[in-house]
Amino acid sequence: KQEVTQIPAALSVPEGENLVLNCSFTDSAIYNLQWFRQDPGKGLTSLLLIQSSQREQTSGRLNASLDKSSGRSTLYIAASQPGDSATYLCAVRVTSGTYKYIFGTGTRLKVLA
């Protein structure tokens, strides 16, 4: 059974730091992995989607990598800003069944001004 883990659960960094958020999954049979941002009391905003055949995706200050063989993905945020404060979730789409996504429980990021 696929399990998705995000460690740490919470993280505080000073503004301007480059940081890495981690996502681990137990079964490498995935179609894709998606990173989301969630602000308090809100829904999820899609940040990046990496297909199983890809190694990384970039959008602005965000870079997500995928290593299927080791069951890991990282989200790299460059030059962090207070506006980046949010919970970041990863989700994998499994190959068994149809359209099933397994979510991690997220990393709560606080960027201090």
C-alpha distance across the termini of the chain, in Å = 41
Provide the residue count of the chain.
Answer: 113
DSSP state of 2: -
Quick one: which of 70, 105, 110, 112 contacts another protein (CB under 8 A)?
105
* 106: contact with another protein by CB under 8 A: yes
Q: Considering the complex, state which of residue 36 and residue 80 has its C-beta at the smaller distance from another protein.
A: 36
Quick one: which of 41, 69, 83, 113 contacts another protein (CB under 8 A)?
41
* 36: contact with another protein by CB under 8 A: yes
Q: Considering the complex, state which of residue 36 and residue 84 has its C-beta at the smaller distance from another protein.
A: 36
Cβ contacts of 98 within 8 Å, gap of 6 or more: none
Q: Which of 96, 109, 102, 83 is nearest to 22 (CA)?
A: 109
Interaction site with another protein (CB under 8 A): 31-32, 34, 36, 41-46, 49, 51, 89, 91, 93, 98-101, 103-106
